Structure 1
Amino acid sequence: MAEDPPLAVDIDGTLSREDRSIDSRVMDVLREWDAPVVIATGKALPYPIALCQFVGVEECVVAENGGVAYVDDELVYFGDRRAADQVAAEFEDAGHDLGWGDADLTNRWRETELAVRRDRPLDVLSEIAERHGLHVVDTGFAYHVKSDGMSKGDALPAVAERLGVDVAEFAAVGDSANDVELFETVGESYAVGNADEHAKAAAGEVLAETYGDGFLAAVERIRSPQ
């Protein structure tokens, strides 16, 4: 039996430094983890896949806040981008761009939701999203427009089943409102010190340490429970 439990971990704010660069110390920890590692993020699919490849772990991810997962050479979808595209069009018709420039690398590879810069008007975005049956989640890095019932916590059980693991065996580490459902799904959960109030309220334990330091502190708790 593996010494470590299966691990689900966010990227931004959890594996990163404050400037969003990856804390290099976390990479060997993930590489040497003696159980499945699931990178669970709000980023579009290519980003966590690339992180897995650079770290040297199996490509197993939940991306787009639970909109799509990749495990065992299978893509599993939990959201529909069409309504999000309609929200984007109406938001732009109302005089607001998404905030990422013409190339829009934030949304270019996104398949199930829409991400909008946080300096854009949330009230306008939320009103348009609601008309299309969607809602907005503020991850602290962007406003994400997504389907109801689409979350990291909804996607992880499907990933766990394909891995042959009980989702309750997972430990999760995160920092944002988009980690709440994830924390509620797994057996043990840790919010890093920079986490928002929603994540802290949902976590089993809130760490004093922030960002990558927080992740490393969570690893110590997971491996040496009190």
Structure 2
Amino acid sequence: MTPPLVLDIDGTLTRPDRWGIDPRVFDALREWDAPVVLATGKAFPYPIALCHFAGIPELVVAENGGVVYTGDDVHFNADPETPWAVAEAYEAAGYSLGWGPEDTVNRWRETEIAVESSQPEAPLRKLAADHGLEVVDTGYAFHVKDPAVSKGAGVRTVADHVGIDLEEAVAIGDSENDVSTFAVVGRSFAVSNADAAARDAADEVLEGGHADGTLSVLERVRADR
């Protein structure tokens, strides 16, 4: 029996240069004959678009659990106003979110904000804490979010709605925001480029990085069926 998959995107389905989905992923996802949940820190439209172009059902955990789509209902699990208050205070203190004037990274966010990872971290963390929020470093951005939401909780919501047995599920990720996902599935893998938190939480750390590592797991699981 093919197990359900829970997959991060950045660092997990991407190329080693960190930009762009590895094209081999599209066939692998489309051919997987069990549910695939995309669980990411990206804004909601990004994983929805990836599902669309990969030709798979739209089962999505976005914004680190802040937005969850179960295929028929959208669940918003945090209030966007407080993260944006942090962003405004950060910019008022003379810092930048780092994405330029159009800021397509945050334009469609609904429950959190993301700051480019080269921007000063310490003042951002202080402002977030002052507003009752936390900062999660995904290696791609600093995400200012409600500490009550997580990818793992979002994955449980999807599983409850569509009947996924998470004990049978396999998760693959690369960052501290994947730790909560690893905690709710039966088997978890960190790609070789994963940060320390993900490596410590995973059942296994892979020899391959980025999409190479992910595809190696899919091949192994398929062979074990």
Same fold by TM-score, threshold 0.5 exceeded? Answer: yes
Q: Within the alignment, does 1:129 sit opposite 2:128 as a pair?
A: yes
Counterpart-to-counterpart distance in 1, 2:45 and 2:93: 30
User: Counterparts of 1:188-203 in structure 2 under 5 Å?
Assistant: 188-203=187-202
| TM-score of the two chains, using structure 2 as the length reference | 0.97
Aligned match of 2:11 in 10, 13, 16? 13
CA distance in 1, matches of 2:24, 2:164: 27
Question: Any residues of structure 2 matched to 1:71-220 within 5 Å, and which?
Answer: 71-220=70-219
Task: Could you list the structure 1 runs, at least 4 aligned residues long, displaced by more than 3 angstroms after superposition.
Answer: none
Distance apart, 1:167 and its partner CA:
2.3
Distance 1:200 1:219 in 2: 19
Distance across 2 between alignment mates of 1:154 and 1:35: 20
CA distance in 2, matches of 1:174, 1:156: 13
CA distance in 2, matches of 1:217, 1:200: 17
Amino acid across the alignment from 1:143: F
Q: CA deviation at 1:205?
A: 0.7
Which piece of structure 1 moves more, 214-223 or 11-20? Answer: 214-223
Gaps of at least 5 residues in structure 2 are none
Q: Partner letter of residue 128 of structure 1?
A: L
Cα distance in 1 for partners of 2:76, 2:117 equals: 26
The separation in 2 between residues aligned to 1:221 and 1:129, in whole angstroms, is 41
Pairwise CA RMSD:
1.2
Deviation at 1:72, TM superposition (A): 2.2
Deviation at 1:225, TM superposition (A): 4.9
Distance 1:113 1:58 in 2: 25
Q: Distance in 2 between matches of 1:164 and 1:18?
A: 34
Q: Secondary structure at the match of 1:148?
A: coil
Q: C-alpha displacement at 1:154, in angstroms? A: 1.1
TM-score by length of 1: 0.96
Aligned length: 224
